[in-house]
Structure 1
Amino acid sequence: MTGAPASAAGGSGATPVPRGGRLGAAAVNQAGLWNIANILTMVRLLLVPVFVLLLLHDGGADPAWRSFAWAAFAVAMITDVFDGHLARTYNLVTDFGKIADPIADKAIMGAALICLSALGDLPWWITGVILARELGITLMRFWVIRHAVIPASRGGKLKTLAQGTAAGMYVLALTGPLATFRFWVMMAAVVLTVVTGADYVRQAVVLRRRGLAAERAAALEAVAAAADTGPGTADTGVTDMEATDVVAAAAGATGGRAAGAPADSAPLADVAEPVAGARGATEAER
């Protein structure tokens, strides 16, 4: 960075391109780390231990302290809404935010559920179902991330709202009809948790199958392109070694056989040597 104003650098107001290639790009990414969206995410992370201390104060029996805990929980849930909106609206998405945001979400909700179950206010099976679903979906996203990103659905957003509302009502020391009502709100949250989880699993399986099919198709195209360039090797500049490498790589990507080929067909790796030999014969004839 030269430190000169944008107008002096180019007259158009555009940010000058920093020197240094990758180093310059890394500096820009690092400079954008401390944006409002990431700050709100960090605030939510810091609120997790504060919320736990407030909720468990005096054994969780003091309604006043539970009200303070509810306030901390509410602030955390509100920041969850705003940080994602700000990041998308103002293009503040960073690698840190992609990792920290879901961690903060799971941390505040998991802390609330575990503490409420430890206090005896919420059955452990509810906590187990919700946490198992959240952890499983998170791991599944990493399972398919090389093929596609599973988008957040409306059902998933409704699930998050239901979980936050129900957990917040359990944090408060409610009695009478409100205590009964919060139970049914939590049941609705559990149903949404299971249904949306099953839908995410379905999406993950479909996306992974499509991704693998696309990889196999690309590998077969590479094999066909390598074979078609045989007579024109001298003109295209493709060597025997390169052609063999392409075929071998394609064989590895497709499990050693062409997609849809019978079980007793020759592996794609066995095609590499004939292709290279044919090219050698062509060069000898020339």
Structure 2
Amino acid sequence: MAQLDYFKAIILAIIEGLTEFLPVSSTGHMIIASSFMGIASDPFVKLFTIAIQLGAILSVLVLYFKRFFKSINFYLKLLVAFIPAAVFGLLLSKKIDELLESPMAVGISLLVGGVILLFVDKWFNKPTLHEEEEINYLTALKIGFFQCIAMIPGVSRSGATIIGGMSQKLSRKLAAEFSFFLAVPTMFAATGKKLFDFYKEGNTITHEQVNLLIIGNVVAFIVALLAIKSFIGFLNKHGFKVFGYYRIAAGLIIIILLYTGHTMQII
């Protein structure tokens, strides 16, 4: 079996940084990439693809530093929104792990999600909430349930929560920002759970693997800093259609390749 090396780690980290906050599914893209590399089933690779999301998430703390010191209500809303994912994540962890090795699940999710994104701007075009202070606890909880859908690889955590926010009358900008904020507790918890499971299964992390995790997180952090700023501006100006077309094209390509029996391993 092929192993994760520094080159592959950097490639995966770049993919993570570029896609974590876009509605295209960072996990889905890393599953496809690691499948092409022939390393998708390796336990450490599964840990790596989750753990490097922390690097991307830290970019949120840097870019929105002041927002995290506004009020206790801000944290309470994030906690309420996080609860559904925490509960369903624990209940469905084994099934989620199985799906993390399924390129076909990613292809189908990309395709279906892409079709949905083509119509989102028309469905939710009359927002009434434009500031984080206007979000109440019930609204936060509803957005949290949307985040649970993203446990299916290829759905996109950011896409699900942004659409969830827009369905609750949040503006596109506010929905995107709340999605970014919600990613912080969600990904910290996901990484902690993955580390616990990794050690529980009798695995250990070598010195080289620690270096791979450090490099992966640093690269993901830097790339995500650039991606967040670009995404907010693009989303406000152009909406979701471009991402919808991209997801449909990517999903169809993956499904066709798998259906015609082409191997996913090229490296």
Instruction: Output the TM-score relative to the length of structure 1.
Output: 0.29
Tell me which of the two structures has the higher relative contact order, counting C-alpha pairs closer than 8 angstroms and 6 or more residues apart: 2
Q: TM-score, normalised by structure 2?
A: 0.30
- Structure number with greater Rg is 1
